């Protein structure tokens, strides 16, 4: 063997050994990144991981290891507000995944890339990347990834004001996480998102419950950064509930943990929450101290979004302290940063604060100019709403075309059925009237061919009709879902008009009408989506001990004011033992069923009438009956009483709206809990409608539970 050959073998061995060493070290630092816990040595871990990623690239390694390192580094750089590096690493991972035909790696890279644009305020680009990531994960059967994508899309819907839509996506993600046994931190993150939506919907108690559940999960992992996030969220919820001392304790604990691990963005966020708390408590000096410290950190790490948010807070603190000049400086700073990240809500907030500060300074003309800027933002949003209306008209046109096609196919189906019947008759006539074997065989064969052809055509027409029906149902679901966000914006704009039009009664009246109409549309789309979830089997009860009688009391209390407005007697009857009887059910779904029944009774009972909500029980069941003195249900309408869009001929007595969906939803929810909703045909002294919900006793296992 020549010296050159020996040299080549030696060089190959050295290179091979070097590549193996690079992969082993890179894998070690990847695991260190994935540990998740933020420590004071976190920056060193990132530097080492980055160095070995570069060495893998130098050796020409195109494997998943290098891509996974790039994904984790992208998230780390994003947290540190190093957006250029974060974007570069995310694009590297997505490109590697595409070249290697690794859809999960490509999806992870796109997901990280969407996170970078999220911080930059480019929501359209975020939606594009996250939606593409979800499609890749679904195609790859990556259930954990699908759950993560659902949570991401929920975050976007939340930011656009579609809280109900966001909650639906988060709940679907939570169901998947629990079904596949995802890691505690994944489940905790989804619980945290659900809690945040409840905060936006002013459901403070529910928000606190979800944040505490997330905290309990995170504490089992020992991950300090994640635990600190939960303490921050719990503290913010307690502040919203007015429990300031408890909130202060939770926020201080979060602050201590974040400082201990060197989590600078987290520290700034918690300081901002403490500033809000102390402002509400009237401790303005302390509020300014906390908020200013948070602002300094955001400036240090170059985080414009956080800087704009805290600058707005400092402006509010200065206004509360009677320092409008200082407030104006802070609002100007918030404006600059909000324009940098493209945050219209932050801009609107600062223009509102600026107008109040200028008004306090007596600068009426400048205050008016600020209000005009505020109005210009509203006009921009109204323009978006106008474009939505055009889109809606286009959607309606498409719907009409689909309905025409459905009608045409239905006619073809009926014609094919007639031809099939005629073919059968002809075959029978030929069998009976055949005069000879040859004629009989020929006639039978001809009729059989006609029958097969007609049967095939009928099946094809039926299949086309069914497919179009499914497309129409899906189309309606998409329309209902897409309407939620714009309708929420319409209601928000109506509220702004009402606030700004104190001297213009006509504008206030019109804004109130807009809000009422939008509210009815929101309720209708929510009912359509509820009905779709029921019919698709997506309703999954959360089993717990429930007293239906106590739930009935709660619902009756909610309708007491409406009943008094119509001079109705609305009350709960029954002995205490029956009303407090406990069954295995779902409290939220039970409340929704009874709410539909009591709402209908209030709508259809004439002025001065009576409504009884009665609790009773037997050895095998607990019942809640809703009985009124209204006109009742005509016998001919009872057969389709629980069908979608069913109308029985009765009109609401005070002009209330009714789309014929409530009873269908209530019937489906009751069935999902193993209960039975039925209309009693027996005569009652009140003489009106009599609905009964029958819950099985706890002795029988709840559907979906082990017996």
Query: pLDDT tens-digit profile of 261-306?
Result: 988 989 999 999 999 899 989 999 999 999 999 999 988 888 887 8
How high is the pLDDT of residue 79?
73
Distance CA 524, CA 164 (A): 13
Distance CA 624, CA 614 (A): 6
Distance CA 541, CA 521 (A): 27
pLDDT band, residue 243 (cuts 50/70/90): very high
pLDDT > 90 in the chain, percent: 20
Rg (CA), the chain: 32
Report helix angle 64-79 to 3-34, nearest 10: 40
How high is the pLDDT of residue 256?
94
Residue spans of beta strands (DSSP E) within 522-574: 544-546, 569-573
- Interior/surface letters 51-85, b for 16+ CB within 10 angstroms, e for the rest: ebbebbeebebeebbbbbbbbbbbbbbbbbbbbeb
Reported as a single tens digit per residue, the pLDDT across 2-43 is: 433 333 333 334 344 545 666 666 666 666 666 654 444 666
In the numeric block, which tokens belong to residue 457?
């055509």
Alpha-carbon separation of residue 497 from 5, 386, 470 (angstroms): 85, 17, 41
- Closest to 335 in 3D by CA, of 318, 348, 326: 348
pLDDT band, residue 524 (cuts 50/70/90): low
Question: In the beta sheet, which residues pair with residue 693?
Answer: 624, 677
Range with the largest mean pLDDT of 164-168, 257-261, 487-491: 257-261
On average, the pLDDT of the chain sits at 77
How high is the pLDDT of residue 389?
34
Task: Read off the pLDDT of each residue in 309-329 and give the average, rounded to a whole number.
Answer: 88
Task: Read off the pLDDT of each residue in 504-511 and give the average, rounded to a whole number.
Answer: 63
Q: Is 30 helix (H, G, I), strand (E, B) or coil?
A: helix
| φ, ψ for residue 626, nearest 5 deg | -120, 115
- Interior/surface letters 160-169, b for 16+ CB within 10 angstroms, e for the rest: bbbbbbbbbb
Distance CA 541, CA 143 (A): 21
How high is the pLDDT of residue 556?
93
Q: Is the model's pLDDT at 660 over the cut of 60?
A: yes
Alpha-carbon separation of residue 453 from 101, 147, 431, 442, 625 (angstroms): 46, 47, 19, 17, 55
Reported as a single tens digit per residue, the pLDDT across 448-479 is: 777 777 677 767 767 766 655 555 555 455 55
Distance CA 219, CA 213 (A): 10
Q: At CB < 8 A and 24+ separation, what contacts does 291-297 make?
A: 291/317, 293/268, 294/267, 294/268, 294/269, 294/270, 295/268, 297/264, 297/265, 297/267, 297/268, 297/271
How high is the pLDDT of residue 56?
72
**Residue 628, H or E segment:** strand 621-628
Q: Is the dihedral of CA 444, 446, 449, 453 positive or negative?
A: negative
| φ, ψ for residue 38, nearest 5 deg | -80, 125
Distance CA 241, CA 256 (A): 23
Place of tokens 């890691």: 183
In the numeric block, which tokens belong to residue 161?
């004001």
Q: Is the model's pLDDT at 202 over the cut of 60?
A: yes
Task: Read off the pLDDT of each residue in 108-115 and give the average, rounded to a whole number.
Answer: 89
- Three-class SS string for 288-326? HHHHHHHHHHHHHCCCHHHHHHHHHHHHHHHHHCCCHHH
How high is the pLDDT of residue 464?
67
**Residue 1, H or E segment:** none
Distance of CA 121 to the CA centre of its chain: 20
Range with the largest mean pLDDT of 153-162, 485-494, 503-512: 153-162
Q: Is the model's pLDDT at 99 over the cut of 80?
A: yes
| φ, ψ for residue 512, nearest 5 deg | -65, -40
Angle, CA 624 vertex, CA 618 and CA 630 arms, to 5°: 130
Q: Is the model's pLDDT at 235 over the cut of 70?
A: yes
Range with the largest mean pLDDT of 19-23, 352-356, 405-409, 582-586: 582-586
Distance CA 436, CA 232 (A): 94
- Is the model more confident about 125 or about 159? 125
Range with the largest mean pLDDT of 77-86, 353-362, 500-509: 353-362
How high is the pLDDT of residue 498?
63
Q: Is the model's pLDDT at 499 over the cut of 70?
A: no
Q: How long is the chain?
A: 707
Distance CA 491, CA 509 (A): 14
How high is the pLDDT of residue 276?
87
- Closest to 246 in 3D by CA, of 224, 218, 270, 277: 277
How high is the pLDDT of residue 117?
82
| φ, ψ for residue 680, nearest 5 deg | -80, 130
Cα atoms in the Cβ-side hemisphere of radius 13 Å centred on 168: 14
Place of tokens 């507000």: 81
Measure the N-to-C terminal CA separation of the chain; round to a whole number of Å.
76
Distance CA 34, CA 185 (A): 12
- Is the model more confident about 177 or about 449? 177
Distance CA 124, CA 118 (A): 9
Distance CA 89, CA 109 (A): 8
Task: Read off the pLDDT of each residue in 491-516 and give the average, rounded to a whole number.
Answer: 62
Q: Is the model's pLDDT at 480 over the cut of 90?
A: no
Q: Is the model's pLDDT at 95 over the cut of 60?
A: yes
Range with the largest mean pLDDT of 3-17, 403-417, 433-447, 515-529: 403-417
Question: In the beta sheet, which residues pair with residue 615?
Answer: 624
Q: Give the sheet arrangement for strand 690-696, strand by strand.
A: 569-573, 610-617, 621-628, 690-696, 676-679
Task: Read off the pLDDT of each residue in 369-392 and give the average, rounded to a whole number.
Answer: 55
How high is the pLDDT of residue 10?
34
Q: Is the model's pLDDT at 545 over the cut of 80?
A: yes
Task: Read off the pLDDT of each residue in 368-388 and give the average, rounded to a whole number.
Answer: 60
Contact 132, 153 (CB under 8 A): no
How high is the pLDDT of residue 614?
93
Q: Is the pTM of this model over 0.95?
A: no
Q: Is the model's pLDDT at 93 over the cut of 80?
A: yes
Distance CA 376, CA 99 (A): 47
pLDDT band, residue 658 (cuts 50/70/90): low
Q: Which residues contact 30 (CB under 8 A, 6 or more apart)?
A: 49, 65, 68, 69, 72
pLDDT band, residue 346 (cuts 50/70/90): low
């Amino acid at each position: 063997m020549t010296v050159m050959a020996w040299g080549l073998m030696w060089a190959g061995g050295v290179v091979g050994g070097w590549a193996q060493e690079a992969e082993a070290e890179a894998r070690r630092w990847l695991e260190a990144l994935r540990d998740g816990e933020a420590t004071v040595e976190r920056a060193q871990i990132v530097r080492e991981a980055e160095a070995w990623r570069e060495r893998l690239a130098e050796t020409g390694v195109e494997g998943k290891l290098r891509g996974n390192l790039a994904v984790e580094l992208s998230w780390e750089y994003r947290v540190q507000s190093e957006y250029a590096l974060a974007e570069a690493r995310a694009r590297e991972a997505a490109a590697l995944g595409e070249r290697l035909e690794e859809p999960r790696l490509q999806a992870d890279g796109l997901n990280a890339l969407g996170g970078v644009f999220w911080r930059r305020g480019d929501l359209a680009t975020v939606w594009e990347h996250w939606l593409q990531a979800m499609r890749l994960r679904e195609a790859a059967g990556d259930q954990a990834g699908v759950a993560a994508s659902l949570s991401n899309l929920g975050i976007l819907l939340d930011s656009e004001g579609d809280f109900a839509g966001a909650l639906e996506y988060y709940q679907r993600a939570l169901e998947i996480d629990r079904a596949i046994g995802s890691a505690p931190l994944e489940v905790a993150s989804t619980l945290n998102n659900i809690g945040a939506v409840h905060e936006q919907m002013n459901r403070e108690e529910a928000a606190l419950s979800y944040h505490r559940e997330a905290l309990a999960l995170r504490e089992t992992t020992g991950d300090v950064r994640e635990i600190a996030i939960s303490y921050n969220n719990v503290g913010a919820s307690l502040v919203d509930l007015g429990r300031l001392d408890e909130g202060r304790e939770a926020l201080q604990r979060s602050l201590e943990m974040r400082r201990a691990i060197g989590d600078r963005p987290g520290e700034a966020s918690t300081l901002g929450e403490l500033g809000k708390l102390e402002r509400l408590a009237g401790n303005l000096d302390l509020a300014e101290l906390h908020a200013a410290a948070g602002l300094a950190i955001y400036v240090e790490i170059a985080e414009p979004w956080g800087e704009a948010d805290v600058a707005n807070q400092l402006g509010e603190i200065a206004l509360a302290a009677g320092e409008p000049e200082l407030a104006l400086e802070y609002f100007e700073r918030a404006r600059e940063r909000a324009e940098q990240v493209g945050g219209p809500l932050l801009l609107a907030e600062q223009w509102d604060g600026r107008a109040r500060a200028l008004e306090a300074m007596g600068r009426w003309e400048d205050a008016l100019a600020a209000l005009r800027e505020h109005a210009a933002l509203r006009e921009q949003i109204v323009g978006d709403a106008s474009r939505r209306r055009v889109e809606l008209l286009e959607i309606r046109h498409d719907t009409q075309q689909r309905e025409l096609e459905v009608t045409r196919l239905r006619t073809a189906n009926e014609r094919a059925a007639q031809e099939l019947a005629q073919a059968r008759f002809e075959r029978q006539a030929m069998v009976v009237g055949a005069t000879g074997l040859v004629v009989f065989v020929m006639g039978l064969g001809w009729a059989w061919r006609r029958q097969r052809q007609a049967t095939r055509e009928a099946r094809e027409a039926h299949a086309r009709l069914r497919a179009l029906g499914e497309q129409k149902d899906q189309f309606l679901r998409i329309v209902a879902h897409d309407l939620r966000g714009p309708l929420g914006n319409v209601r928000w704009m109506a509220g702004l008009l009402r606030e700004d039009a104190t001297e213009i009664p006509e504008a206030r009246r019109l804004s109130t009408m807009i809000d009422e109409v939008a509210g009815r549309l929101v309720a209708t789309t929510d009912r359509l989506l509820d009905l779709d979830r029921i019919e698709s089997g997506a309703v999954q009860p959360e089993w717990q001990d429930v007293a239906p009688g106590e739930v009935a009391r709660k619902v009756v209390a909610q309708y007491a004011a409406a009943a008094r407005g119509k001079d109705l007697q609305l009350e709960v009857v029954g002995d205490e033992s029956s009303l407090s009887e406990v069954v295995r059910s779902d409290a939220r779904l039970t409340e929704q069923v009874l709410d539909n029944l009591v709402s209908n009774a209030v709508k259809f009972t004439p002025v001065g009438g009576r409504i009884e909500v009665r609790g009773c029980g037997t050895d095998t069941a607990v019942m809640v009956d809703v009985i009124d003195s209204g006109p009742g249900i005509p016998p001919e309408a009872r057969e389709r009483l629980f069908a979608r869009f069913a109308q029985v001929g009765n009109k609401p007595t005070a002009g209330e709206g009714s789309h014929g969906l409530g009873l269908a939803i209530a019937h489906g929810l009751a069935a999902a809990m193993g209960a039975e909703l039925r209309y009693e045909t027996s005569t009652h002294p009140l003489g009106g409608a009599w609905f009964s919900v029958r819950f099985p006793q706890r002795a029988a296992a709840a559907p979906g539970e082990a017996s």
